[in-house]
Structure 1
Amino acid sequence: MPDATLTAKGQTTIPKEIREQLGLEAGDKLTFTTLSDGTVVMRAKTRSLLDLAGSLSRPGQPSVDVADMKPLRA
């Protein structure tokens, strides 16, 4: 696993092999999550809502128009 160094300004460089594996490019946004055991997870925020289109459909299941959906009751 490659290492990185934190600068006095709190900056670091993500190692090239990690950037390539994640498909990161200059300007991409990253998010960090701290888990209860102290582990920090970094995720690339490179997806847009359009990338998720159709992700909830299953083969053979009919599509439902938004206007036909029933609102959830509180």
Structure 2
Amino acid sequence: MNTLTLTQNGRVVIPKALRDQLGLHEGDEMVAEIEDGRLVLSTRAARLKRAQALIEKYCPAQPGVSVVDEFIAERRKAASTE
């Protein structure tokens, strides 16, 4: 378990071992949020994977089918009937 200390100006240093495990580097942007009373930090890439997994749960990917292409086709069809 790693213990972090909050400095007077509100900064926290993430221990090197944790940064290495997550592949974090100086200048990387993190997303901070509170979940169930806990401070949760995540990388943008981790948030994207989480969002993709959530979408996949409700709209499973179909091999060979592009959601973007389907959307464009639907928009073109709607535009042609206007």
Whether the 8 Å contact between 1:34 and 1:40 is mirrored in structure 2 is: yes
Given the two structures, how large is their TM-score scaled by the length of structure 1? 0.63
Of structures 1 and 2, the one with the larger relative CO (CA 8 A, separation 6+) is 1
Deviation at 1:67, TM superposition (A): 2.8
Runs of 5+ consecutive residues of structure 1 not aligned to the other structure: none
Given the two structures, how large is their TM-score scaled by the length of structure 2? 0.58
**Larger helix percent:** 2
Equivalence for 1:67: 72
- Mark the CA change 1:63 to 1:46 in structure 2 (over 3 Å): closer, same or farther: closer
Q: How far apart in 2 are the matches of 1:68 and 1:16?
A: 48
Q: How far apart in 2 are the matches of 1:11 and 1:21?
A: 21
**Equivalences for residues 28-43 of structure 1 within 5 A:** 28-35=28-35, 37-43=36-42
- Structure 1 ranges of 4+ moved more than 3 A: 55-58
Paired letter, 2:3: D
Whether the 8 Å contact between 1:28 and 1:46 is mirrored in structure 2 is: no
Equivalence for 1:44: 43
Give the aligned CA root-mean-square deviation in angstroms. Answer: 2.9
Tell me the percent identity: 36
